[in-house]
Amino acid sequence: MKKVLLTLFAVIAIAVPATAATTYNAANRVQEVGEKLLTKNGISATNVKFTVVSDTPNNSEFISTKVINISSAELAFAGNDNEVAAVVAAEIGHLVCGHASKAKVMSLLQTTANTEVKTNEAIQTFAENYKTTKQDKEADLVAVNLMVGAEYNPLALIVVLTKQTGTYWDTIVGRPANAEKAMNVYDYIEYVYPAKLKVGYGCNEYRTFLAYAQNITAERKENKKAVKKHEKTYQKAQKQTANSILKFKTRGGISGWDAVYGLLNTAQ
C-alpha cells in the first residue's frame, strides 16, 4: 500500500511541473513573433522592441523610439503564436497605415490655422467611433497580409476578434463579437487568400463565426449588385494594402503620414 501511495505522489510531483511548463504565455512570445512578422515581410526589425502595456497602445512616437506597444488586454485572447501574431500584426498595421501620424498632422494643421471646429457632442462621438472602426478595419487587412507573409494562419485574427466580449445588441441579434470587423477580415481572406479558408481554424470561436459568415455570403451571392460591389471593394483593398506595405518597406519603416508630419514639424 505504501508503495502504491509513493508511486502516486511521484507521478503527481512529475505531472504538476509538466502541466505548468506547458501553460502558454502570450506576452513572452510578442518580441519573437513581432520580429518574424517584420523580417519575413522584408521590413527591418533592427532595434525594434515590442513591449506589452496595460493601457491603450500609443505608437505615435515609433519613428523616434522604435518601440511598438502591444495591448495586454488584446493578448489575453491569444492562446497560441497565430493569435499573438494577429494582435501584433494589427498594431503594425496601424503603423503601416500611418493612423497615429495622420492624427498628429491634422492636429498640427488645425493648430497652425488657429481654428477649432465645434460640433454636437453626440455627432462628434459617432464620428470618432466611425473613424476608429474604419482605421481598425484598414489595419486588420494589412495584418492579414503580414500574417500570410510570415506564415501565420490569418484566420487567427477572426478568432481573436470574436473571442472578445460582445455587446448586448450582439447577443440579442445572435452575432459574434466584433462581427463587422471579423467579417471584413473573412471577406478579404476569401477574396485574396481563398486557400487559407480551406485550411480552416480548429476552435469553437471560429466554427461559430463561420456559421454566421456563411449565412451572409450565401445571401450576398443571390444579389448580383452586392457581389459586384463586394468584389470591387476588396479588389481596391488588396491594391491599397499591398501598396501601403511596399511604401512602408521602401521608406525604411515610415508611412506616408510619418513623412508628412516630419516635414511639417521641421518647417515650423
**206 close to 159: Cβ distance less than 8 angstroms:** yes
In degrees rounded to 5, what are phi and psi of residue 90?
Answer: -65, -35
Main-chain phi, psi angles of 50, to 5 degrees: -105, 125
pLDDT tens readout for residues 186-198: 999 999 999 999 9
pTM here is 0.81
pLDDT at 100: 76
160/165: higher pLDDT? 160
Give the E-state strand segments of the chain in sequence order.
49-53, 67-71
- What the block records as the C-alpha cell of 70 is 502591444
Lowest pLDDT segment from 23-27, 83-87, 123-127, 132-136? 123-127
What band does 264 get if pLDDT is binned at 50, 70 and 90?
A: low
Q: Which three cell numbers stand for residue 108?
A: 498640427
Confidence band, pLDDT 50/70/90 cuts, at residue 234: very high
Write the CB contacts of 137 (distance below 8 Å, at least 6 apart in sequence).
180, 181, 184
DSSP state of 164: S
Indicate whether 11 pLDDT > 70.
Answer: no
Average pLDDT, integer, range 16-41: 82
DSSP state of 49: E
Domain boundaries defined on the chain = 21-267
pLDDT (0 to 100) of residue 107: 60
8 Å CB contact between 166 and 176: yes
Where does the pLDDT of residue 172 fall: very low under 50, low under 70, confident under 90, or very high at 90 and above? confident
Answer yes or no: is pLDDT of 257 > 80: no
- pLDDT of residue 19 exceeding 70, the answer is no
**Euclidean distance between CA atoms 253 and 150, whole angstroms:** 17
Specify which residues 53 forms β-bridges with: 71
**DSSP label of 47:** T
pLDDT of residue 110: 58
Percent share of the chain, pLDDT over 90: 64
pLDDT one-digit tens code per residue, 206-232: 999 999 999 999 999 999 999 999 999
Q: Please name which of 245, 134, 131 lies closest in space to residue 184, comparing C-alpha atoms.
A: 134
Q: Which residues does 245 contact at the CB level (< 8 Å), separation at least 6?
A: 41, 96, 142, 145, 146
Reply yes or no on whether the pLDDT at 116 is more than 80: no
pLDDT band for 252, please (50, 70, 90 cuts). Answer: confident
The answer to whether 148 and 154 are in contact (CB under 8 A) is: yes
Q: In one letter, which amino acid is 41?
A: N
Helix axes 179-192, 155-163, angle to 10 degrees: 170
Q: Cα angle vertex 183, ends 174, 148, to 5°?
A: 140
Residue 268 has pLDDT above 60, yes or no: no
Measure the CA–CA gap between 163 and 222, rounded to whole angstroms.
30
- What is the average pLDDT across 73-80? 97
pLDDT over 70 (residue 119): no
